[in-house]
Structure 1
Amino acid sequence: MDGSTLEAMRTALRGPVVAPEDSGYDRARTVYNAMIDRRPAAIVGCRDAGDVMDAVDFVRDRGLEVAVRGGGHSGPGLCLVDDGVTIDLSPMSWARVDPVTKTAQVGGGSTLGDLDHAAHAFGLATPAGIMSTTGVGGLTLGGGHGHLTRKYGLTADNLLSADVVLADGGFVTASEKEHADLFWALRGGGGNFGVVTSFTFELHPVHTVGLGITLWTLDRIQDVLRWYRDFLPQAPDDLNGFFAVLAVPPGPPFPEEIHGQKMGGVVWCWTGDVDRVEEVLAPVRDAGPPAFHFTAPMPYPAVQSMFDQLIPAGLQWYWRGDFFDRITDDAIGVHAKYAEGLPTDLSTMHLYPIDAAAHRIGADDTAWAYRDAVWSGVIGGIDPDPANAEVIRQWAVDYWEELHPHSMGGAYVNFIGADESQERVRATYRDHYDRLAAIKRTYDPQNLFHANQNIEPAPAG
C-alpha cells in the first residue's frame, strides 16, 4: 500500500487508520495469541457501520487483502493479514439491554464481558464462552458454547438478528424474517458472509450461579472420565460441567500443597437453586475421592471472568479440536497418556458439553452441523515463552492425531488450527457445506472475506 492509498483511506474513514510507520502500530496489530506475528499494511479502527461500509468499498475497489477483527481471540490469527487491511471493530464495543423484551444488542467489537456486565444488571444472560475477554463476534459466528449451553443452547441459537455489511458495501439486517438464508449461515458459518456490526440476542434469567471445581489426581483420570461420560448427559439441564486436564494454578481457591500438580477435573456451573449445589454434586465422589472439591455461589460475570488473569493476552497458543458423540475407553487412554505429558503449566485439554438444550434445535435449522455431538473438545498448548512454541505445538498435534480417530470427524470451527486442511472445514460443515457455498455465492461471490476458515463460493449456475 503506497502513501497516496493510505492517505485516501484516512480521508475516507472516520476512525483511525494505523500504518507500520505509526507509533501505535505494534499495539494495534497485537492479538490474544502472541504466536501470531502478522504485519498488515493498515489497521482501520471502525467507529460505526458507516466506517465499515467505506472500508469494505475501499479494499474491494483496490483489490486489497482484508481481514476482520472483533475481539482478537482467533487462535490461528485469522483477524490479521500480512500486507493487507484489518477492519478492526474494537471501537464498536458496547451493549444495550432491553429488560422488558429480555434482549441485548451489542456492537461487533464487543467482548463477552461487555455483554455479561450489561445483562447482569437485570439478572439476565445468554450462553457465551467461558472467558470475558473473548470477542462476541467470532464466538457467535462459529456457534458458541459455554457455561450455559446445556440450559440455553449455543450462542448462535440465541441470536435474534444481525446487522451485516456485505462484500458489495451494502448493509442488511438478517433475521428469521429478513435475509433468512444469510441468517441461517451466520449461525455457525463463521465470518464468511460479511462484517457483522451488531448482534441482537435473547436473554435468560441468570444472576448468581453455583460454581464448582472438582479435581482428581492423574492416577484416577480414567475412572473419572468413565464416570463423567455417564453422569453428565443424564444430569439436569441446569448443570454444566466441562472436563479438563491441567496443572493446578498457584492461587486461591487451591491449597498450596497441590499447586502445580497435574490433575484431571471438572469446572461446574449450576443455574438452579444455589443452595442445592452440594446436593447436586454429591455424586462426584462416585468417581473416587477428589483431591480438591470446592463450591460457592458466584455472580455469573465473575464465573465468566475467573480464567482471565490465568491465561491473559500475550501467551503462545496452539490449539486443535474435534467433536465427540461418546468418550470411548480407548480415547480415555489417550487423555491419560497426554495428561501425564502435559508440556507446560498452562497447557490443557477441555471437553465442553454441547447436549441438552443444544440438541433441541433441528439438525438443519442453523449452519452448525453437529447437533448429534455431545462434547466439543479442544487441546491447547499454552506458554508465555516463545522458546516453547514448538514444544507446545507438537504436544497438541500429537495428542490430536492420536485422539482424532475416536472423534466424529469435524470440529467446532473456532478450534480449527491455522495449518489444517480445507477438508477439515468441509468435515466441520458436513452436508451443510454446499448450502453455505451457495449462500456465499449470493453474498460474497468474489470471496472478498476469505481470511477465515473459508467456505468458497459455489460456482455460478
Structure 2
Amino acid sequence: MALITGVTFANEHSVPFLAANGFHGSITTLGKMTHGIEIYLSQSNTVEISPDGKTAKIGGGIRARNLTDALWSVGKQTVTGACECVGYLGPGLGGGHGWLQGHHGLISDQYLSFDVVLANGNLATIDENSELFWGLKGAGHNFGIVTSVTSKIYDVQYPNYAIETIFFSGEKVEEVYQLANELWITNSTAPEGLNHWSYWFIDPTIDPEKGVDTVDPIHTAPFHQLGPIMSQPQSGDYRDLAAWTGISLADGPCQKTGNANPRFPIYLQAYNPQAQKQVYDLFRETTTGPATPFAGSLSMFEGYSQQGVRSFADDASAFAYRSDNLLVAPLLIYPPSKELNEAAQTLGNRMRQVLFEGSGQPTLNTYVNYAYGDETSAAWYGSDSWRQERLAALKKKYDPEERFSFYAPIA
C-alpha cells in the first residue's frame, strides 16, 4: 500500500508528513510543518454499503456532498458535516456536528471501526475492542491516518425539509437572542429535527426541519413579532440544506480565493443578549466600510438539535462537549499578511473573550475543527484531568515521537 510505504519512508528519513482531505480546519498549528510530505487522500473516496444496509465502509478522502449523494441514491443517509466541500472524515475525527445529530448523534458516534495507518507505519483496524477507539472519536488527528471508516447508515425516513430565513437589522440583536434562548435553548419540547442557525453578515436565523414543507409557525411566529426586515420560506429535501445556509459547493466558503479565514470558536450553554450586542457592535465596527480589510467576514451561531448527541454518555468518546448547546465562531476573512494575521488574531480573540466573559462559564470550550490555534489542549479536548491524562497516555503509547503533531496536538 503506497500510503504505508510513504509513512515508512518518512519515518526512516525523519521527514515530517501530514495527511489532508477536505481542508476543514485552518488552525495555526499547521504552520509548524515547514517542510515534509503531504499525503492527499482524495482518491480514497469509495462507499461500500453492507448487504444488510445498516453500515457502509467509507474512504478516508471522500467529501461530504459526495457521500450524501452516494447514500441518497440508494435511499440512505448518515450524519455528515453541514458544509458540502469539506471532507467527511476530518470533522468526524474532531467529533463532528451535522444536521442529523439530533436523531443519531455526532458524526463520530456513527463510527464502528477505523482502518488506520499508525505512526509506526503499520495498518491496523481499530474498533470498540481497542483503547484507541475512544481517542480517535474526538482527538483522532493525533493518532494516525484513517484510510477508511465503517459507519452506521440509516434509511431516509423524511425526504422533505423546510427552512425559514428571517432577516433582522442590528438593532434587534438583544431581542432576537433573548427570544432564541426562550424558544430553543430552554425549551425541552423542541423537536429533534429542529436546528437554528444565525449569521452576522446576511443575518438569517435558520430553522431546517425534517419531514415538512413549511416550518411550523410555533418556532417562527415570535420572531415575526419582532419586526424583521424580511422573511424567506423555502422547501426541498435534505440535499438543499447546504445551499439554504450558504455552504454548498457553489457558495463562497467553498471557493478558493486566496484569503485567510480563521475562526475563533466557543461553545456556549445559552446566549447572553448583552454580550451578543457588545460583540455585534464590535463586529460591525471592524468589518464595515471600504477601508476595512475584514469586509466580508461573518460570525456563525450554530444551534444543532442535541437529543441524539446526549443519548451517548459524556465519557463515550474523546469529544468533551456534549452538554453545550451552541457552537459560536466569529470568522474573519482577509488577504493574508503578517500585519493582518496579527490584527485578526487580536480582533477574533477579543470577540471570543466578550462571549466567554458573558457566558459565566469556568472554562473556554472550543470546537477543535474550528480552532484558531492559540487555544490550549484543555480547551480543545476538555479540561477534566481524567480526559487529559487518558489522551496523554494514548499519545505516548501510539505516537511517542509525535509524528502527528500538526493539527491541535495533545499537550
- Using the size of structure 1 for normalisation, the TM-score is 0.77
The equivalent residue for 2:40 is: 88
Q: Please point out which of 366, 383, 387 is paired with 1:432.
A: 387
Q: What aligned pairs does 1:216-295 form with structure 2 within 5 A after superposition?
A: 216-233=168-185, 234=187, 235-246=190-201, 248=202, 263=203, 265-271=204-210, 273-285=211-223, 288-295=226-233
Q: Quick check: 1:67–1:79 contact (8 Å CA) kept in 2?
A: no
Deviations 1:142-180 (A, max 9, x none): 01112222232211111222111111111111222x32x
Q: Distance in 1 between matches of 2:2 and 2:276?
A: 50
Any idea what SS the aligned residue of 2:138 has? coil
The equivalent residue for 1:36 is: none
Q: Quick check: 2:264–2:348 contact (8 Å CA) kept in 1?
A: yes
Residue identity in the other structure for 2:296: L
- Using the size of structure 2 for normalisation, the TM-score is 0.86
Q: Quick check: 1:66–1:448 contact (8 Å CA) kept in 2?
A: yes
Judged with a 3 Å threshold, the aligned counterparts in structure 2 of structure 1 residues 342 and 133 are, in CA distance, closer, same or farther, namely farther
Any idea what SS the aligned residue of 1:230 has? helix
The equivalent residue for 1:193 is: 143
TM-aligned CA deviation for residue 300 of structure 1: 1.7
Judged with a 3 Å threshold, the aligned counterparts in structure 2 of structure 1 residues 398 and 163 are, in CA distance, closer, same or farther, namely same
Q: Please point out which of 313, 325, 328 is paired with 2:256.
A: 313
Residue identity in the other structure for 2:209: W
The equivalent residue for 1:184 is: 134
Any idea what SS the aligned residue of 2:195 has? strand
TM-aligned CA deviation for residue 417 of structure 1: 1.0
Q: What aligned pairs does 1:204-219 form with structure 2 within 5 A after superposition?
A: 204=154, 205=156, 207-219=159-171
The equivalent residue for 1:41 is: none
TM-aligned CA deviation for residue 92 of structure 1: 1.4
Residue identity in the other structure for 1:338: L
Residue identity in the other structure for 2:98: G
Q: Quick check: 1:67–1:78 contact (8 Å CA) kept in 2?
A: no
Any idea what SS the aligned residue of 1:187 has? helix
Deviations 1:61-109 (A, max 9, x none): 2111122212122212666721112222122123333484232322111
Q: Quick check: 2:176–2:223 contact (8 Å CA) kept in 1?
A: no
Q: Please point out which of 322, 328, 347 is paired with 1:377.
A: 328
Any idea what SS the aligned residue of 1:185 has? helix
Judged with a 3 Å threshold, the aligned counterparts in structure 2 of structure 1 residues 207 and 275 are, in CA distance, closer, same or farther, namely closer
Question: Relative contact order, CA 8 A, sep 6+: which one is greater?
Answer: 2
Judged with a 3 Å threshold, the aligned counterparts in structure 2 of structure 1 residues 161 and 303 are, in CA distance, closer, same or farther, namely same
The equivalent residue for 1:3 is: none
Q: What percent identity do the matched residue pairs reach?
A: 23
Judged with a 3 Å threshold, the aligned counterparts in structure 2 of structure 1 residues 288 and 449 are, in CA distance, closer, same or farther, namely same
Q: Please point out which of 100, 106, 129 is paired with 1:154.
A: 106
Q: Quick check: 1:317–1:382 contact (8 Å CA) kept in 2?
A: yes
Would you say how many aligned residue pairs link Structure 1 and Structure 2?
A: 388
The equivalent residue for 1:73 is: 24
Judged with a 3 Å threshold, the aligned counterparts in structure 2 of structure 1 residues 102 and 291 are, in CA distance, closer, same or farther, namely farther
TM-aligned CA deviation for residue 51 of structure 1: 1.7
Any idea what SS the aligned residue of 1:232 has? helix
The equivalent residue for 2:291 is: none
List gaps (5 residues or longer) in structure 1. Answer: 1-49, 249-262, 457-461
Q: Distance in 1 between matches of 2:330 and 2:368?
A: 14
Q: Distance in 1 between matches of 2:225 and 2:282?
A: 20
Any idea what SS the aligned residue of 1:172 has? strand
Q: Please point out which of 65, 72, 87 is paired with 1:120.
A: 72
Any idea what SS the aligned residue of 2:263 has? strand
The equivalent residue for 1:363 is: 314
Residue identity in the other structure for 2:252: L
Judged with a 3 Å threshold, the aligned counterparts in structure 2 of structure 1 residues 295 and 201 are, in CA distance, closer, same or farther, namely farther
TM-aligned CA deviation for residue 366 of structure 1: 0.8
Judged with a 3 Å threshold, the aligned counterparts in structure 2 of structure 1 residues 115 and 99 are, in CA distance, closer, same or farther, namely farther
Q: Distance in 2 between matches of 1:61 and 1:428?
A: 36
Q: Distance in 1 between matches of 2:62 and 2:36?
A: 23
Any idea what SS the aligned residue of 1:226 has? helix
Deviations 1:372-407 (A, max 9, x none): 211121111024676965554443222112222225
Q: Distance in 2 between matches of 1:146 and 1:53?
A: 31
Residue identity in the other structure for 2:269: D
Q: Please point out which of 364, 373, 376 is paired with 1:418.
A: 373
Any idea what SS the aligned residue of 1:188 has? helix
Q: What aligned pairs does 1:2-41 form with structure 2 within 5 A after superposition?
A: none
Q: Distance in 1 between matches of 2:49 and 2:225?
A: 42
Residue identity in the other structure for 1:297: S
Does 2:394 match 1:442?
A: no
Judged with a 3 Å threshold, the aligned counterparts in structure 2 of structure 1 residues 223 and 296 are, in CA distance, closer, same or farther, namely same
Does 2:278 match 1:334?
A: yes
Residue identity in the other structure for 2:372: G
Q: Distance in 2 between matches of 1:287 and 1:84?
A: 57
Q: Distance in 1 between matches of 2:49 and 2:207?
A: 27
The equivalent residue for 2:12 is: 61
TM-aligned CA deviation for residue 348 of structure 1: 1.5
Residue identity in the other structure for 2:398: Y
TM-aligned CA deviation for residue 182 of structure 1: 1.2
The equivalent residue for 1:8 is: none
